[in-house]
């Protein structure tokens, strides 16, 4: 039995004629991303409907709790209120990440199982970190930062600077991809196992992968739920901490 | 319909995802943070207002209380004043009455003394007259002869006076 684990499906290909960028492909990643965005936005609108100052509803309590949690997350991790502007960004990052990771539970392919997604986020964060550093120390200060503590360290400093977004993207992507790979392997192996057991009973029954019912769900508690939430949390946490550190100069 | 490689970065997807992230940020900001923060700010304002109102009410109450206490203490002082005035007046009045009574009593006493003196003189005089008459009668009876009234009277007076001096 062959097990095939492939990348996102490509639904349509729009030629753009731009050299490096290539064709614009409407693939599973983008479509599911849009679904995720619609879901988050719908949820936000739903939660904040009919808000009151007093006698709040459960929905409003949840909305307020989410906002307070985001505020506290950013403020506690940076220790100041200087980064309040970043709260919606971090919230968007976390929400998109966590919903993208968990949407695989519905059978859709996670947008985060495509390195393009994480690379995009990591680049945005990298640009923000760099901007914060330049803002804190000026362009010269930023350049000079690479030669510290001694000029010989410059290549390593540049490398470590570039490693930040790469490691962020790869960490997230790797965790989600490994979940997909392991889930695929488990499904396939359980199907083989169930046919091996049921072949003794009846050859038609052997075609039904009975062991695939239930058992993968237990494993998905770790590979989808835990990893999904954890990676989203780590990504947001690193984002805010890197930016906070960067602006301290 | 093909599939893309398992680990790859598609440039357009990459760009689209950057844009998606920012669109998502805007949507979350617009539909979650803005309304919730507005509500929180409103609630904050309401709470602040209530605290301020309560403080103002307390200040008013304190002012009224101070005023009331001021009134009370001045009223008490006034009452004290009235009482002490009344006492003083009463004392003065009592003194005056005692003095009056004393002077009156004095007058009565001295008048009484004068009366007594007069009565005494009168009595003495009467006694003198009666004794004189008596003596004259007795003497007339004793000597049994008519004595000239004037000589006689002179004699008796001398006698009485000597008696009066002796008594």
Q: State which residue of chain A sits closest to B32, comparing Cα positions.
A: A44
Q: What angle do CA B16, B19, B20 make, to 5 degrees?
A: 85
How many Å is the maximal CA-CA distance in chain A? 76
Interface residue B130 vs chain A (CB under 8 A): no
CB B4 to CB A89 under 8 A? no
Q: What does each of the 249 residues of chain A score in pLDDT, given as a tens digit? A: 677 777 888 888 888 777 878 788 888 899 999 999 999 999 999 998 888 888 888 888 999 999 999 999 999 988 888 888 889 999 999 999 999 999 888 888 889 999 999 999 999 999 999 999 999 888 998 888 888 888 888 999 999 999 999 999 999 999 999 888 888 888 888 888 888 887 777 777 777 777 777 777 788 788 888 999 999 999 999 999 999 988 885
Contact A92, B21 (CB under 8 A): yes
- Calculate how close chain A gets to B60, using CA atoms only, in Å: 28
In chain B, residues with a C-beta closer than 8 Å to the C-beta of A45 are 31
CA distance A206 to A120: 45
CB contact under 8 A, B20 and A33: yes
Q: Do B6 and A5 touch (CB under 8 A)?
A: yes
Q: Which two tokens stand for residue A185?
A: 């392997």
**Residue in A8, A16, A177 nearest the CB of B4:** A8
ipTM for the predicted complex comes to 0.87
- Nearest-CA distance B33 → chain A (Å): 6
CA nearest B16: which of A215, A16, A229?
Answer: A16
Is the CB of A111 inside 8 Å of chain B's CB atoms?
Answer: yes
Residue-wise over B93-111: b if at least 16 C-beta within 10 A, else e?
Answer: eeeeeeeeeeeeeeeeeee
Every domain of chain B and the residues it spans: 12-162
Q: Which residues pair with A26 in a beta bridge?
A: A12
Structure tokens at B75: 């009223």
- Nearest-by-CA chain B residue for A59: B36
Nearest to B46 among A27, A45, A53 (CB): A53
Compute the distance between CA of residue B28 and CA of residue A38 in angstroms, rounded to an integer: 11
* Distance in Å, alpha carbon of B45 to nearest chain A alpha carbon: 10
Contact at CB, B13 and A60, closer than 8 angstroms:
no
């Amino acid at each position: 039995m062959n097990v095939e684990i492939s990348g996102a499906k490509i639904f349509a290909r729009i030629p753009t004629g731009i050299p490096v960028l290539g064709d614009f492909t409407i693939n599973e990643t983008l479509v599911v991303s849009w679904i995720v965005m619609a879901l988050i936005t719908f949820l936000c609108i739903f939660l904040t409907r009919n808000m009151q100052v007093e006698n709040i509803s459960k929905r409003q309590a949840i909305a307020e709790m989410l906002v307070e949690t985001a505020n506290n997350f950013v403020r506690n991790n940076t220790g100041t209120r200087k980064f309040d502007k970043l709260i919606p960004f971090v919230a968007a990052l976390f929400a998109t990440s966590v919903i993208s990771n968990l949407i695989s539970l519905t059978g859709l392919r996670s947008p985060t199982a495509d390195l393009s997604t994480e690379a995009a986020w990591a680049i945005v964060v990298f640009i923000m970190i760099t901007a914060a550093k330049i803002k804190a120390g000026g362009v010269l200060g930023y350049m000079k930062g690479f030669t510290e503590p001694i000029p010989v360290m410059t290549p390593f400093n540049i490398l470590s600077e570039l490693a930040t977004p790469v490691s962020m993207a790869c960490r997230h992507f790797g965790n989600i991809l490994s979940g997909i790979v392991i889930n695929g392997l488990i499904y396939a192996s359980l199907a083989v196992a169930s046919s091996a057991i049921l072949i003794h009973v009846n050859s038609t029954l052997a075609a039904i992968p009975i062991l695939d019912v239930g058992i993968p769900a237990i494993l998905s508690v770790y590979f989808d739920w835990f990893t999904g939430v954890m990676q989203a949390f780590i990504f947001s946490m690193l984002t805010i901490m890197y930016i906070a550190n960067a602006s301290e100069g | 319909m093909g599939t893309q490689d398992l680990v790859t970065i598609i440039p357009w997807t990459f760009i689209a995802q950057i844009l998606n992230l920012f669109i998502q940020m805007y949507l979350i900001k617009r539909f979650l943070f803005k309304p919730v923060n507005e509500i929180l700010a409103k609630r904050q304002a309401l709470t602040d207002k209530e605290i301020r109102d309560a403080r103002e009410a307390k200040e008013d109450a304190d002012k009224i209380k101070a005023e009331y206490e001021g009134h009370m203490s001045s009223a008490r002082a006034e009452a004290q004043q009235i009482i002490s005035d009344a006492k003083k007046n009463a004392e003065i009045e009592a003194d005056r009455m005692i003095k009056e009574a004393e002077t009156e009593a004095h007058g009565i006493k001295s008048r009484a003394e004068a009366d007594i003196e007069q009565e005494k003189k009168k009595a003495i005089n009467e006694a003198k007259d009666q004794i004189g008459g008596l003596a004259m009668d007795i003497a007339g009876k004793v000597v049994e002869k008519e004595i000239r009234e004037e000589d006689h009277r002179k004699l008796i007076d001398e006698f009485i006076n000597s008696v009066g001096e002796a008594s």
